[in-house]
Structure 1
Amino acid sequence: MNNQASIRRAGRPRAEESEQKRERLITTALQEFARAGFHAASVRDIAEKAEISSRTLYNYYPEKLALLEACLEYSARQFRPVLPALKGGLHSQLVTYATEMQRYLSRPLSMQIARLIFRESSDFEGLREIARLQFERHQVVPVAAILEKGGVDPARSQLLAMQFVAMAFGEWHRRLLYGRDPLTRAEMAEQAELTVGIFLNGIGKS
């Protein structure tokens, strides 16, 4: 009995250490991808800066693309706590979502990663597919869920969510592509109010 308890106690630090090592690797890789771009980023440099061996890195992620996907998932998780906190009716929830998501996307690191994807995905199908899945998983699906809770037919929610995302973040995309500064927080809120009003009026939910 005592031996089993000792094994369990010994296992916890190792598991925690492994998780801390993985998180350090991901945050380091995220910074390196943002700085150098996907193709130019060196796996050896990432491992060295994360203070792990290249072998350990490849044990976690067998290829560089898998590491980038893990980085994008990690980054997206930073936004998820906002979703359960959405309150009010459909209009209020969509305004809050659009405002907070645009703030998240306008962080310097988010902008750098987005530029990387725009710049390099045209020549790399694997990167395009990851970007598509990230878009659906972290933008379209949450908006579709908000719409369904607001009474929108589930058969239409996915398509309407894609339309809403295109409307809500169109200005963000333009500023990203042309290298302009992001909107201010006040401008984000104002744009979200206008976009949601037009969108809900268009689908008969105003």
Structure 2
Amino acid sequence: MAYKTALSGEERRLSIITAARPLFAEKGFHATSIREIAKAANVSEALIYKHFPSKEAIYDELLDYAREMLRVGLTGMEGMEYGTRTLVLLVFGLVEVIMLDVPGRIPDQKMHERLLFQSLTGDTVFARGHFKMLRDNWENTVIACFRAAEEAGDVAESPIPPTNLMWFVHHLAMALNLCHLSGEAAFDYEVSREELAEQAVLFCLKGIGMTDEAIGEYYRPGELRETLDRVYE
């Protein structure tokens, strides 16, 4: 007779998070109950509370994908000088990671995107947590790169704060990605997704005020993609 092996505490936590993720993605935070999560995870509500003090704690765990992507990205950029080259890489990386599939992370990436867009049209809890995490971790780097690029004459001074300029980049990439979220393009730009991402980066670089000379010198998609691949390998 075969006996089931009891899950470790960490394995049980992961199974609960895995069961909760599609529920939150479909119904949002407020419409999903602990009872539904327990049923999906095939455990009791009491066991849920043994591992998580609240529904909010489970929801917060779902931000782990974004935290990990951000941690990997920032760690991979350690040692790079603040300036135009790094600013171009930031814009390129932001657009590419949002618009294109990241090798080895596609299932989590797709679920995270669905959670984010569902939250934006619902309770906004997950979305606000996602954006706050980004703001807390990238603001200083973004500001330093913009200031250095301005001093070098590569970016025009703007009345718009550097952080808002980068948020415009982020939100444009999100909107373009939304058109492809189902797996089938809702709008046909008549180019591949890779080409569309490259065009979006070029649009964003011009939009943040970067000069044509600086774009010509630093915006080399092939080299930037190789750098990005090394960061996330």
TM-score by length of 2: 0.59
Give 1:17 shift: 2.0
Q: 2:32 aligns with which of 41, 64, 69?
A: 41
Superposed, 1:169-184 pairs within 5 Å as: 169-170=171-172, 172-173=174-175, 176=178, 181=186, 184=193
May I ask how many residue pairs the two structures share in their alignment?
179
Q: Deviations over 1:39-65 (max 9, x none)?
A: 333322322332432112123333323
Report sequence identity in percent: 16
Q: 2:67 aligns with which of 53, 73, 77?
A: 77
Contact 2:146 2:162 in 1 (8 A): no
Superposed, 1:82-161 pairs within 5 Å as: 82-86=73-77, 89-103=86-100, 107-121=109-123, 127-128=124-125, 131-138=127-134, 140-148=135-143, 150=145, 152=147, 159-161=161-163
- SS at 1:150 equivalent: helix
- SS at 1:89 equivalent: helix
Superposed, 1:182-193 pairs within 5 Å as: 184-193=193-202
Contact 1:47 1:53 in 2 (8 A): yes
Relative contact order, CA 8 A, sep 6+: which one is greater?
2
Give 1:175 shift: 6.3
CA distance 1:113–1:42, change in 2 (3 Å): same
Q: Deviations over 1:116-155 (max 9, x none)?
A: 212222xxxxx54x532320212x34442432453638xx
TM-score by length of 1: 0.66
Q: Deviations over 1:73-108 (max 9, x none)?
A: 223134232332246532123312332134369953
- The one-letter code of the counterpart of 1:173 is A
Q: Does 1:23 align with 2:14?
A: yes
Contact 1:79 1:101 in 2 (8 A): no
Please name the residue that 1:7 is paired with: none
CA distance 1:104–1:152, change in 2 (3 Å): farther
Please name the residue that 2:224 is paired with: none
Please name the residue that 1:11 is paired with: none
Alignment gaps of 5+ in structure 2: 1-5, 149-160, 216-233
Contact 2:120 2:127 in 1 (8 A): no
Contact 2:26 2:118 in 1 (8 A): no
Give 1:160 shift: 1.6
Q: How well do the aligned residues superpose, as a CA RMSD in angstroms?
A: 3.8
Structure holding more helix per residue: 1
- The one-letter code of the counterpart of 1:70 is E
Please name the residue that 1:6 is paired with: none
Distance in structure 2 (CA, Å) of the matches to 1:147 and 1:141 = 11
Give 1:113 shift: 1.0
